[in-house]
Amino acid sequence: MQKQKIELLAPAGDLDIAKAALRAGADACYIGGKWSARAYARNFGESEVKEILDYAHERGKKVYVALNTMLYEREMQEALSYTRFLYEAGVDAVIAADLGYIQQVRRCFLELSVHVSTQAGIQCGLGAKLMQELGCTRVVAARECTFADLADIAAQGIEVEAFCHGAMCSGISGACLMSGMIGGRSGNRGRCAQPCRQEYTLFGKNAYHLSTRDLCTLDLIGQFAQAGVCSLKIEGRMKKREYVVSAVSAYRKALDAYDEGRATDCKKLREELACVFNRGGFSQGYLSGSRDITYLRKPGHMGLYLGKIQSRQGNKALLATEYPLQKGDSIEIGAMGFALAYADKAPNGWYIPVSGTIQAGDRVYLKSSPSLLKKIQQIAETDEAGRQVTLDFTAEEGGKACLIARSGEWMATAEVPVEQKAQKPVSLQSIREKLCKSGGTNFAVGTCHVQLKGEPFLPAAMVNGLRRQVLEQLSQKMMPQVSGRTVQTKTRYQSPSWHGVMPPPYIAAQVCTAEQAQAAADAGATRIYAAPQDAVQLEKICRSKLPETWLVLPPFFSQETAAWAEKFLQADGKHFYGLIAPNPGAAQLARKLEKPWLADYWMNIANQGTVALLENWGAAGYAVSAEIENTAIKALTGAKEYVAYGQLPLMNLRHCPVRKQAGCTACGSGVLQDKMKYCFPMGKLWAGDCLAQVYNAVPIALQEMQALRQAGIIGLRLLFTGERAQQVTQITQAYKAAWKHIGKVDLERLGIQKYSNGHFFRGVE
């Protein structure tokens, strides 16, 4: 069976990088315009979008545009207007995360492909199935997925795109509030300030506990193919041209070698990539099951590790390495970085100049290489040979001359009459030479067949004219036909209303332990949301006599987690009234089990389009995004819930800094302290898997119930993490009374001195 050809997808922060990436061998590039998840990239204006579309399509390549941020209700019409421009310009697909926006695109632009962004948190086949029902053609799988998760998604019959190289988020895709809460710059709005790259103290050790190593998967191409992945995506719309070109070139070589069934020197390619840019010496992410993805020493470019200083004599040292060094290479030894004034070959390494306190045993890194950068520059500026085309030429004396050109699925034909006999025999080689001249086009002639009958007269002008004609026809056929694309007559944003049942105002207590659950129930909580951190507490909650109890599903919903949750809910957990769904996969499980469900705030609900879609999917209500302010909340209808109290989880992790630093026996006791001395507690997230959470340094504690009612909030959620049963009782009673009488919560009486209003009054960028 023929191997499926995997697309190589390159990032591009500007027009120059996009063109260079395509020249280097990318099959497609993805760019940003308005509302992309890299708001601080240069991004593309409308004229630049048109230019890169022409450039790519002339070469038979594709362009995708990222509109993958959370959208407010007030932005939806402008986003649709911009999408119409992209649609009519001929963009091959949009990459989107906002569910309401996706539904509107599918309604208005029937022939525009939608690729679901990694920000949407599609981590298993259940979520992919829901996206397929919505009309999406591709899922960009979450970076936290394993090969098994990728295969589960592909099994649904939808295209799967997976990250193969570049930076990795520390937190679970689309479920991170840390940047927004700390500095007001929301990652869900494309403005992440990267707090995970900062230094923290954990168990007395200062280190970059959240900083992930870069992903590199050059030697995993076969596994991607076996999992059903159709596109490999390089991260880096904020990166420089040399980074993008080097990555594209390396993965192009690896993919071509795989397609042709030959080996490739992944070690050499990886070394070149490491020299250009890497964090922590690379990892393979979560793909094969490992969770050791962080590098604690530094968050920036590490360079290529060369070896150690073996000896030093004066200002000369012997570096033990087999890597070929050159004059001008920039190296780093400890905190000292410098360009080599010379590099002399030695029997077991290289002699290099040194100074200062450098001594034997010091580790040496290559930070950049002029010769490598020159090589990358040449790749970036050399246009590829063009699309391969096969030519078949036949000519018959007294008949016709016919030229057929084929490239992939396309074919073009041209013919002219041949009326005269040649005065002298025509050379087949001379005909081939004329036909193979494809200069000035985006084609390269691979195979050229020539067949002559009799002695036809074939002047050069005739042959050249046929060649130009068929290649021009072929080029036109290969260009996307955008003029006939269907645009619905109603392309204005239609803000749908909520038509579902509106419950009376309620108090929901989210708890971690059975003791908290009982205390909240006794204090009058209408609902109990069970988020147990271990199997023991889950079992106790199952045995407790509680009011309406819902199970909180985790923000990472892998194939394994989904299977565990389904089995549990059909057995010991069958008495749970409903489910709290943080992503489409969890929502689909609730639908499959016919359980009532509520869309959690991790689904980044910020516009009425998303609200209506969730209602159509069967949601009984929703918790609005934790990052939108009261005026934006007021613009939404339906059974709205809001977190009024609790230490809000800011980051969800598949890796565990506590385990890495102190072992599993320290689970639940870790605290990350930043340079401003703010302390962020850490806890376990889910009883069915080892997932970690980083909580806000202070609890949210909204006092004014009038403001919440004016925003249309129906349900108040109280988040209990480390509170004792007595505290749970007092806080629940206080909020229940204030909510009933639309009064004010006396925080001082509750002993809450340090607190936050979250984003309720200020929103985020």
The domain made up of 304-381 has a fold known as Elongation Factor Tu (Ef-tu); domain 3 (2.40.30)
pLDDT for the residue numbered 269: 97
Distance CA 417, CA 395 (A): 9
pLDDT of 365-407, one tens digit each? 999 999 999 999 999 988 765 678 899 999 998 899 999 999 8
Kindly state which CATH superfamily the domain 7-168+214-276 is placed in.
Aldolase class I (3.20.20.70)
88-97, 421-430, 579-588: which has the minimum mean pLDDT?
Answer: 421-430
Do 714 and 505 contact (CB within 8 A), yes or no? yes
Q: What is the DSSP string of 142-187?
A: -TT--HHHHHHHHTTTSEEEEEEEE---SSPTT-B-HHHHHHS--G
* Cα separation values, 99 from 64, 159, 501, 631, Å: 18, 18, 22, 21
516 or 495: which carries more pLDDT confidence? 516
pLDDT of 240-299, one tens digit each? 999 999 999 999 999 999 999 999 999 999 999 999 999 999 999 999 999 999 999 999
pLDDT for the residue numbered 622: 98
576 or 382: which carries more pLDDT confidence? 576
pLDDT for the residue numbered 428: 87
pLDDT for the residue numbered 377: 95
* Cα separation values, 56 from 63, 239, 266, 387, Å: 7, 20, 28, 12
pLDDT for the residue numbered 487: 66
At residue 570, does pLDDT exceed 70? yes
pLDDT of 82-92, one tens digit each? 999 999 999 99
40-44, 338-342, 426-430: which has the minimum mean pLDDT?
Answer: 40-44
pLDDT for the residue numbered 53: 96
3-state secondary structure of 482: coil
Calculate the average pLDDT of the chain: 93
Distance CA 315, CA 334 (A): 16
pLDDT for the residue numbered 457: 86
Residue carrying structure tokens 């890796």: 655
497 or 149: which carries more pLDDT confidence? 149
Distance CA 707, CA 299 (A): 42
- Residue type at position 275: C
pLDDT for the residue numbered 385: 55
pLDDT for the residue numbered 488: 59
pLDDT of 2-60, one tens digit each? 568 999 999 999 999 999 999 999 999 999 987 776 766 677 999 999 999 999 998 88
1 — pLDDT class (breaks 50, 70, 90)? very low
pLDDT for the residue numbered 758: 95
- For 688, counting Cβ atoms within 10 Å of its Cβ (0-12 exposed, 13-18 middle, 19+ buried), the class is buried
Per-residue pLDDT averaged across 514-529, rounded?
97
| Beta-carbon count within 10 A of 438 CB | 18
269-278, 497-506, 510-519: which has the minimum mean pLDDT?
Answer: 497-506
166-180, 421-435, 534-548: which has the minimum mean pLDDT?
Answer: 421-435
195-209, 424-438, 556-570: which has the minimum mean pLDDT?
Answer: 424-438
The proportion of the chain whose per-residue pLDDT surpasses 90, expressed as a percent, equals 82
454 alpha carbon, distance to own chain's centre: 61
* Cα separation values, 471 from 78, 391, 442, 478, 480, Å: 40, 10, 9, 10, 16
- Alpha helices by DSSP H, 384-456: 428-435
CATH code of the region 506-648+699-741: 3.20.20.70
547 or 475: which carries more pLDDT confidence? 547
- Residue type at position 643: V
**Cα angle vertex 524, ends 736, 748, to 5°?**
40
| Beta-carbon count within 10 A of 629 CB | 17
3-state secondary structure of 195: helix
Per-residue pLDDT averaged across 162-186, rounded?
94
Per-residue pLDDT averaged across 160-172, rounded?
97
Residue ranges of the domains in the chain? 7-168+214-276, 178-211+649-695, 304-381, 387-477, 506-648+699-741
- Residue type at position 324: P
The proportion of the chain whose per-residue pLDDT surpasses 70, expressed as a percent, equals 97
Q: Do domains 304-381 and 506-648+699-741 have the same CATH topology?
A: no
How many helices and strands, by DSSP H and E, does the chain display? Answer: 22, 35
Do 276 and 248 contact (CB within 8 A), yes or no? no
At residue 517, does pLDDT exceed 80? yes
- The secondary structure element, H or E, covering residue 404 is strand 400-407
Do 277 and 241 contact (CB within 8 A), yes or no? no
